[in-house]
């Protein structure tokens, strides 16, 4: 059996090189591919950009029948199928954008065995005629993408996902079922296994930690100024800015556009045509920064997003990790920045109340929101905090790249102030929220403070040297560090936890970093050198080569009518810039250049390097290559000159 499995994996590795241009599977991918090739139901939890699709696409090529992929969004299907066809793999999708005749043609093609993968939305499985047509096909595997949507405790619950299990049961021969998602708590994982009726499922959690992403939580920033300054500084990089409401999206988009930045916007208040046009502009690099609500992104496979900024705190950690994970899918260093303010909590509570959910689900949403607030206040390593949330085992070593790890402010002893806060909460009988506690400690003459006679407490006015906001922030930090508990619900109450009792009894000290005197950008500039994006990866000459390669790629993408990253992603172009391949053998050793892609797109890149080799004989830079010349006035030769930063 082991020999047979080894042969299957050897064949899988050959296909990976041929179609995708990668010499080896990542460790997490390898285990999942092995599981599917031995026809085991499989659940894979892999981070966004971790290569989930390869895990079922390679087995699909090795199976005799069809792999049916359940995908939640039209744009996601199109993106996946475009990439597969570009790689030379027979794939198609069926969705509402097609005419009845086109749908029938694709089903007939599947029946003739001309397709290896067919993508459909979960709603399609509820149609009697579609189920009848699928019963006439040999379906070897059903791959369920974004599988967390099947759970009401997931952050994108979609009732149509509940039709997957009945559909699988209705097929004449039960196929292997594979489920994939980027984020799932243990509760959601249990739901996926149960509701998709996975049989003796093998489960693989490959970890959320992506070393190329640097996470930051910034408090007290002027958010609009920060967004503009950041987008301007990174004007030649693709980025996404998420905002909580349509109004905020429109305001940010107008600000960026009026100041001359190539920006787009996306939210549910726009027409279908407007949203589609905005998405296409972003995918094809016509706009560099997309300002959007969380309606944007699940179907975006764009690999070269260099930053994701959250203008507001998201509703829960699952949503945040998935949205932030859309940065750096190509493995290149990227930033994930969360701009937090106390008003974000008010907005999210309002949205929870507006959803009209049943009590149990609303209660769960408030619990998750409080955990998200704790994350925004924590002084711990942010990556460790994320892994703890999802129940993943990890080392205690800090990541070294998040805003907490890079925070070089002095650590001070705040035990006495913490004792005053804990004592006040105790004397208020743990029945009030953070704002009320802060008012008492500040010495407020607020009507409620006087009504409850809290001005007679011994702790009244004990922190009158601080603002109420500063005291509330301290309470939230202490809650995030496990000293206090904030109850679930729209109006959380502050309660003491065992650690606080230890502090009150003098058995434990409390430490905190000193308060910021200026904005993060100004005060921590000295520590930014540890940020991955601060590292110089390419020499000046290599950067010039990289930009010229982007131009060649853009021209090819325009002819093929596909986004540039479908041709080759930025990581592949970076590797070309360093290794400068001049033969077919050397080109095929570049990660991301498979045999099929080389035959379709490799020649212009190969000729570019061969021509540079000839140029170098006449002199040039120290490494034998000329720096890029200034473009001619008519910018006529797009293959030789880099035009307008590839906007």
> For residue range 138-192, what is the model confidence (pLDDT) as tens digits?
999 999 998 999 987 766 788 999 999 999 999 999 999 999 998 788 888 999 9
Greater pLDDT, 5 or 426: 426
Q: Could you check whether 213-389 and 411-515 share the same CATH topology?
A: no
Task: Give the model confidence (pLDDT) of 333-387 as tens digits.
Answer: 999 999 998 889 888 988 888 877 778 888 888 999 999 999 998 988 999 999 8
**Alpha-carbon distance values, 233 to 227, 228, 236, 242, 289 (Å):** 10, 8, 8, 18, 12
Place of tokens 């391949």: 581
**How high is the pLDDT of residue 154?**
66
Q: Which residues pair with 313 in a beta bridge?
A: none
472 vs 488: CA distance, rounded Å:
17
Place of tokens 């099947």: 150
Choose the weakest-confidence range: 119-133, 379-393, 606-620: 606-620
**How high is the pLDDT of residue 630?**
39
CB within 8 A of 509, min separation 6: which ones? Answer: 413, 415, 503
13 vs 312: CA distance, rounded Å:
43
**Which of these CATH numbers, 3.40.50.300, 3.30.300.30, 3.65.10.10, 3.30.70.2190, describes 2-205?**
3.40.50.300
- The average pLDDT across 402-426 equals 92
Compute the CA torsion angle 133, 139, 143, 148 (nearest 10 deg): 50
* Record: fold of 540-646: DNA polymerase; domain 1 (1.10.150)
466 vs 416: CA distance, rounded Å:
14
Residue 408 in this model has a pLDDT that exceeds 60: yes
**Alpha-carbon distance values, 152 to 122, 184, 187, 282, 369 (Å):** 16, 12, 10, 31, 16
Greater pLDDT, 82 or 4: 82
CA atoms within 13 A on the CB side of 474: 26
pLDDT band at 625 (very low <50, low <70, confident <90, very high): very low
Percent with pLDDT over 90 in the chain: 59
Q: What is the mean pLDDT of the chain?
A: 86
322 vs 327: CA distance, rounded Å:
10
Task: Give the model confidence (pLDDT) of 558-615 as tens digits.
Answer: 888 888 888 998 889 999 999 999 999 999 999 999 888 999 999 999 999 998 865 5
**How high is the pLDDT of residue 537?**
64
Q: Which CATH class is domain 213-389?
A: alpha beta
DSSP state of 515: P
Assigned token pair, 611: 């021509």
Assigned token pair, 539: 């020499």
Residue 221 in this model has a pLDDT that exceeds 60: yes
**How high is the pLDDT of residue 411?**
83
- CATH architecture of the domain 411-515 equals Orthogonal Bundle (1.10)
Assigned token pair, 88: 């030379």
- The average pLDDT across 249-265 equals 95
Reduce the DSSP state of residue 573 to 3 states and report it: helix
**Alpha-carbon distance values, 226 to 221, 233, 265, 288, 519 (Å):** 7, 11, 18, 17, 10
- The average pLDDT across 229-237 equals 93
Most confident of 67-71, 94-98, 325-329: 67-71
CA atoms within 13 A on the CB side of 582: 6
- Structural domain spans, the chain: 2-205, 213-389, 411-515, 540-646
**How high is the pLDDT of residue 454?**
96
With b for 16 or more beta-carbon neighbours within 10 A and e for fewer, the 476-501 pattern comes to bbbbbbebbbbebeeebbbebeebbe
483 vs 480: CA distance, rounded Å:
8
CA atoms within 13 A on the CB side of 144: 32
For residues 625 and 616, the answer to whether their CB atoms sit within 8 Å is: yes
> What is the gyration radius of the CA atoms in the chain, in angstroms?
27
Greater pLDDT, 297 or 439: 439
Residue 460 in this model has a pLDDT that exceeds 60: yes
């Amino acid at each position: 059996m082991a020999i047979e499995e080894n042969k299957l994996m050897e064949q899988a590795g050959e296909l990976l090189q041929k179609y995708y241009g990668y010499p080896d599977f990542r460790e997490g991918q390898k285990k999942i591919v092995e599981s599917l090739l031995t026809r085991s139901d499989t659940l894979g939890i892999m981070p966004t950009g971790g290569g989930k699709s390869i895990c079922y696409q390679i087995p699909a090529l090795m199976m005799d029948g069809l792999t049916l992929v359940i995908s939640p969004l039209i744009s996601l299907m199109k993106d996946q199928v475009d990439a597969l066809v570009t790689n030379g793999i027979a794939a198609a999708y069926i969705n509402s954008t097609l005419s009845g005749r086109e749908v029938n043609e694709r089903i007939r093609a599947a029946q003739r065995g001309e397709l290896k993968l067919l993508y459909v939305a979960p709603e399609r499985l509820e149609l009697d005629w579609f189920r009848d047509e699928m019963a006439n096909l040999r379906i070897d595997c059903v791959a369920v993408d974004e599988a967390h949507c099947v759970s009401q405790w997931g952050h994108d619950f979609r009732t149509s996902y509940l039709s997957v299990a009945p559909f699988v049961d209705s097929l004449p021969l039960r196929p292997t079922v594979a489920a994939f998602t980027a984020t799932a708590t243990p509760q959601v994982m249990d739901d996926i296994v149960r509701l998709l009726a996975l049989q003796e499922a093998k489960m693989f959690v490959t970890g959320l930690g992506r070393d190329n992403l640097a996470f930051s939580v910034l408090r007290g920033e002027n958010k609009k100024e920060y967004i503009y300054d950041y987008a301007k500084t990174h004007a030649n990089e693709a980025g996404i800015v998420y905002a909580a409401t349509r109004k905020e999206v429109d305001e940010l988009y107008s600000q960026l556009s009026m100041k001359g930045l190539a920006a787009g916007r996306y939210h549910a208040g726009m027409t279908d045509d407007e949203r589609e046009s905005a998405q296409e502009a972003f995918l094809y690099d016509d706009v560099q920064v997309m300002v959007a609500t969380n309606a944007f992104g699940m179907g975006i496979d764009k690999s070269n997003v260099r930053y994701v900024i959250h203008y507001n705190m998201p509703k829960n950690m699952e949503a945040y990790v998935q949205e932030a994970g859309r940065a750096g899918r190509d493995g290149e260093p990227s930033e994930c920045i969360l701009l937090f303010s106390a008003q974000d909590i008010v907005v999210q509570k309002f949205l929870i109340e507006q959803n009209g959910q049943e009590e149990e689900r609303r209660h769960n949403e408030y619990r998750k929101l409080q955990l998200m607030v704790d994350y925004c206040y924590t002084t711990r390593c942010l990556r460790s905090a994320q892994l703890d949330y999802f129940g993943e085992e990890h080392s205690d070593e800090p990541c070294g790249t998040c805003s907490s790890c890079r925070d070089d402010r002095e650590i001070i002893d705040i035990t006495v102030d913490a004792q005053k806060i804990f004592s006040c909460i105790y004397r208020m009988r743990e029945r009030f929220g953070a704002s009320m506690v802060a008012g008492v400690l500040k010495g407020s003459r607020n009507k409620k403070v006087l009504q409850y006679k809290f001005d007679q407490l011994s702790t009244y006015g004990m922190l009158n040297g601080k603002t109420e906001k500063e005291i509330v922030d301290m309470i939230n930090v202490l809650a995030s560090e496990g000293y206090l508990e904030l109850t679930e619900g729209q109006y959380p109450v502050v309660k003491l936890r065992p650690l606080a009792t230890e502090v009150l009894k003098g058995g434990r000290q409390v430490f905190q970093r000193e308060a910021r005197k200026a904005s993060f950008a100004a005060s921590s500039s000295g520590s930014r050198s540890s940020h991955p994006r601060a590292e110089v990866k390419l020499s000046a000459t290599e950067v010039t080569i990289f930009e010229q390669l982007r131009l060649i790629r853009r021209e090819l993408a325009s002819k093929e009518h596909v986004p540039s990253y479908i041709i080759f992603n930025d990581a592949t172009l970076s590797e070309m810039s360093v290794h400068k391949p001049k033969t077919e053998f050397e080109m095929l050793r570049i990660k991301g250049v498979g045999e099929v892609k080389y035959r379709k797109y490799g020649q212009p890149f190969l000729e570019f390097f061969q021509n540079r080799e000839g140029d170098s004989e006449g002199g040039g830079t120290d490494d034998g290559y000329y720096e890029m010349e200034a473009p001619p006035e008519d910018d006529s030769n797009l293959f030789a000159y880099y035009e307008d930063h590839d906007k």
